[in-house]
Amino acid sequence: MKALTHPIKIVFFDIDETLYYKKECRIPDSIFEQVIPQLKSKGIIPAIATGRALGAFPKAIQPLLNPQGFELFVTTNGQYNIYQGDIISQYPLTTERIERALEKLKALQIEYGFVSIEEIAVSKNTAEVEKSLRPIKEDYIVDPNFYLDHKILQLLAFFPQERTQEVIGSGLLEDDFKEVRWHKYSVDLLKKENSKAKGIKDVLNYFNIQMENAMAFGDGLNDLEMLATVGYGIAMGNGEEELKAVADYVTLPIEQDGILAALKKLKVL
């Protein structure tokens, strides 16, 4: 465990399997009763840093989206970042870039999706699409041309891990795109330079907070840059092994109140 050497002024939380226990569709009581109130009482800003879009937040987190809870959001892997409803930064994809990617995906016969600020739309509803998206946003839209009338923050592609090399070989990613797997059948497709870490840098600049005064909790592969960038990165005990390898501390799993345990262990609370 790395020593905590700088005072913490802001803490970023991933949602799925970090704040939100997806298996039981709930947020641990300790978050409501201890973590958020105690952070607020100490003047520490609690913030969300998620791969989800604003319109795809789970219902269980809604009671925390208020001045007594969360008002600061790094969303869609750092591509749409807001505070109290005001946009700090955003990085939508151009129509040209989207269409280049769709050409490759169609040639590969891979279904795709679009993530806007509030909606998720897919090219076709398949078993793989349903298994991926239903736990994230039940009311997603089927519209292969959704991007023509909406600002798109990132793409989705629905294919299993074993097709990854085929996808890479197709030229889909080229020099400026990357894929981040978040489900057995699905990956996020976004600009290579974008990540939660980039969104966090924008936020810290906005608040004039130094990186060493920022802490973050995560569990997945889209948290790698975030945990490696903030002053103190904490991986959940239920997290990916690759993430644990870059973390400053590995806490207990979400179902064992890992967030509260880490904040107490490090004397943040």
Q: Specify the pLDDT at position 178.
A: 93
For residue 108, count CB atoms less than 10 angstroms from its CB and return exposed for 0-12, middle for 13-18, buried for 19 or more: middle
Q: Specify the pLDDT at position 264.
A: 97
Instruction: Say if residue 199's pLDDT is above 80.
Output: yes
164 Cβ contact partners less than 8 Å away, ≥ 6 residues apart: 179
* Confidence tier at 152 by pLDDT (50, 70, 90): very high
Tokens standing for residue 157: 């592609």
Q: What letter does residue 61 receive in the DSSP assignment? A: G
Tokens standing for residue 207: 């608040």
Q: Specify the pLDDT at position 210.
A: 98
Q: Cβ of 165: how many Cβ atoms within 10 Å?
A: 9
Q: Specify the pLDDT at position 125.
A: 95
Q: Is 14 a catalytic residue?
A: yes
- Give Dmax over CA atoms of the chain in angstroms: 54
> Quick one: what percent of the chain has pLDDT higher than 90?
96
CB 106 within 8 A of CB 80: no
Residue 261, sorted as left (phi over 0), alpha (psi -120 to 50) or beta, turns out to be: alpha
Q: Specify the pLDDT at position 46.
A: 98
* Confidence tier at 153 by pLDDT (50, 70, 90): very high
Q: Specify the pLDDT at position 121.
A: 98
Q: What is the mean pLDDT of residues 200-217?
A: 98
Q: Specify the pLDDT at position 242.
A: 95
Q: What is the mean pLDDT of residues 146-175?
A: 94
**Prediction pTM value:** 0.93
Give 12's strand partners: 47, 216
> Quick one: what percent of the chain has pLDDT higher than 70?
100
Helices (H), 53-163: 95-107, 127-133
| Mean pLDDT of the chain, nearest integer | 96
Task: Give the rounded distance of the alpha carbon of 128 from its chain centre.
Answer: 21
Q: What is the mean pLDDT of residues 39-44?
A: 97
* Confidence tier at 190 by pLDDT (50, 70, 90): very high
Residue 38, sorted as left (phi over 0), alpha (psi -120 to 50) or beta, turns out to be: alpha
pLDDT in tens, 16-31: 999 999 889 999 999 9
Instruction: Say if residue 175's pLDDT is above 80.
Output: no
